[in-house]
Structure formats: C-alpha cells, structure tokens
Amino acid sequence: MDDNERSNGYSPLEAAIYGNSFRALHLSAQSTGFRTHGFRHRSLSHANDLRIAEDFLINTRYLRYDRETETSIQSYFMDPGVTILSNLGREEKAGIAEIRIPEGVRLRRELGDVLARRRSSRSYTGDPIDLKFLATIIRSAGAVTGYGNVDLMSGGQATIRFRSAPSGGGLYPIDIYVASLKINGLERGLYRYDPLDDTLLQAGDRHDVDRLVGAFAIPEEIVSLSRANAIFALVGHPWRSMRKYGNRGLRFLFMEAGAIAENIHLATGALGFGSVDCASVHEDEAHTAMHIDGLYQTLLHTVLLGYPG
C-alpha cells in the first residue's frame, strides 16, 4: 500500500499530516552511521559519499592532447631531465652509518620451478639466516644491474643506471628498507638500501624495529611475525614520478612496488626461504617508526621473510 492509497478517505489536512509523518526508510550509506565497505558498495546507486578511489582512477588516466603532461615528460629527454636521471639516488650521507653487504649467493634454482612453487609462506622456524642470503634478496629487489650513456645536447655524456626491477621513466621512486630481525651478521635495526654504493644505510635502531613490528595488525597464529627474519618495507617518493607524470605517476609507484615485491618473492623462493606480502600494517605507526612523513615518503608495501617451518 503506498501513500496515495492510504490517504484515500481522509480530509486533505489529515492526508497532509499523514503524508508528512510518513518517511520511508531507505537503507543507504547516507542514512547509516556504521558502514562496511560491502554495504557502501551495495548502496552505491543512492549514496552520495566521497568516492576517492574512483576519483583517483578517473583522474589519473592518460588522455590525448594533455599538453601539460606531454611537456612535463619531454623535459626528461632534455639535458636537465637527463641530469636528474643520472643523479638519482645520489645523496649526502655524512653522519649516517653505512654497512657493506657481502657477496651474495647465486640463484641456481630453475625459474619455472621457482614460479611453480611460489606460495605465500606465513609460518617460520625462527632460525637465523646469514646476511649473504639477505644480500642476494636485497640485490634482486633493487640493485644497479646496468648502465647506459646518454649524449647531452650541451656536449658530453651522462650515465644512467638501471636496476633489477623495472621503473616508469627510470625514476626509481621506491626506496627499499629492511628491518633486520634475525640475520646473522646484521644487527637488529632498520636499514635503507643504497643501490648506488650497494650498501645499507642505518635508518633506525632496534627500538624503531620494535615500533615497526608493533605497527602490523596480524595475529601470530596467521603470520608468525615474531619468528620472521626480516621485513622488507617499500617506501615511495610519489613526487619523483608525479613531477614527470602528474597524478598518474602515483599509479606507477603501486605497480613498481608490486614488481619489487615479486622479485623479493622469487629470490626468496629460489633460496628455499619463505615470504609473504603484508598489507596489514598501520601505515601511520610505520611512518613514525621509520622516521618518514608519510606523504613525500610513504610506505607502499611490506614483505616478510623467514625460514619456512
């Protein structure tokens, strides 16, 4: 029975009173305080919420005739842009403890075999792992593996370095951090890999590692973080890509984090260790632990590594 049928037989005043006091309850994301993501999805047709993720997808598409983006990209083929590329990763390191990492071990297992066996591994024995194995995994994630010389318009050449994981525009906007938990030869601490010098730079002490571990939201029965050997934390510099590609550049950071993470998994698997991606981390807490601001340097992803057990 609808409003009109109900009001039959009533005076206009009574009908108006009835009409004004009747209010259909439309269950929607707007009329509800606590909203699960599934509920938001079901009520999309009558919700008026901010749609940040979809706005991101729409506003980061590559459009034809976007002269601002085209010009920004072109500038990276001119001398100043090439110079930026050739200087990537160069930084002042005065006062930062620098740790040489040893030669690694060769990855001998056949790729097809590694791929076929790759599976997330969440249970670890807690036995320590030697630094030489971690060194191999770090280098697989992001070492400099090649060089290219580019002729400058003004004369001379600039050298550009390439790394083990691909990167949009060769901008390498992701830093690889490693928290050493149980690594023979590497004190418990937080380190940032420097691909140019192939060293680890001290980025935090054991207390920072405790804070980083505390930022994870995973029950021990699901992932035995307390017995993991290392945490890889991939930290992006969004503006390094966005300066060239605009907001679209942020897409590249997520893609590149995936490529680096997969390199970590494949190297880990080839060595017989276990690893798992872990998105269950409270980023704000991790940023505090890692002494980064969360915007100009922001945690993109983490991978845990351990002796499978």
Ligand X SMILES: Cc1cc2nc3c(=O)[nH]c(=O)nc-3n(C[C@H](O)[C@H](O)[C@H](O)COP(=O)(O)O)c2cc1C
By the rule CB under 6 A, 279 interacts with ligand X:
yes
The single-letter code of the amino acid at 148 is G
Among 119, 145, 151, 166, binds ligand X (CB under 6 A): 119
Instruction: Give the CA distances from residue 18 to residues 1, 10, 13, 93, in Å, rounded to whole numbers and listed in that order.
Output: 14, 9, 9, 76
Q: How many chain residues interact with ligand X (CB under 6 A)? A: 11
Rounded distance between C-alpha atoms, residue 123 and residue 139, angstroms = 24
Min dist. Cβ of residue 278 to ligand X (A): 4
Task: State yes or no: residue 277 binds ligand X (CB under 6 A).
Answer: yes
CB of 270 to ligand X, least distance (A): 16
Task: Considering only the stretches 38-46, 87-95, 117-125, 188-196, report the one whose residues sit in contact with ligand X under the rule CB under 6 A.
Answer: 117-125
CA torsion through residues 240, 245, 250, 254, sign: negative
Q: Identify how many contiguous H helices and E strands the chain contains and give both numbers.
A: 12, 11
Interaction between residue 262 and ligand X (CB under 6 A):
no
228/278 with CB nearer ligand X: 278
Q: Is 123 near ligand X (CB under 6 A)? A: no
Contact flag: residue 267 with ligand X (CB under 6 A): no
> How far apart are the C-alpha atoms of 281 and 301, rounded to whole Å?
9
Smallest distance, ligand X to C-beta of residue 190, A: 20
Token pair for 54: 């979809």
**CA–CA gap between residue 305 and residue 309 (Å, rounded):** 12
Q: Is 276 a binder of ligand X (CB under 6 A)? A: yes
What residues contact residue 170 under an 8 Å CB cut-off, 6+ apart? Answer: 85, 88, 160, 162
- Tokens in use for 236? 């992006």
Q: Which is nearer to ligand X, 87 or 120 (CB)?
A: 120
Task: Please state, in angstroms and rounded to a whole number, the distance separating the CA atoms of residues 77 and 1.
Answer: 70
Residue 122, interface with ligand X (CB under 6 A)? yes
Of 56-64, 204-212, 217-225, 228-236, the segment contacting ligand X by CB under 6 A is: 217-225
174 in contact with ligand X (CB under 6 A)? no
Which residues of the chain form contacts with ligand X (CB under 6 A)? 119-120, 122, 218, 222-223, 276-280
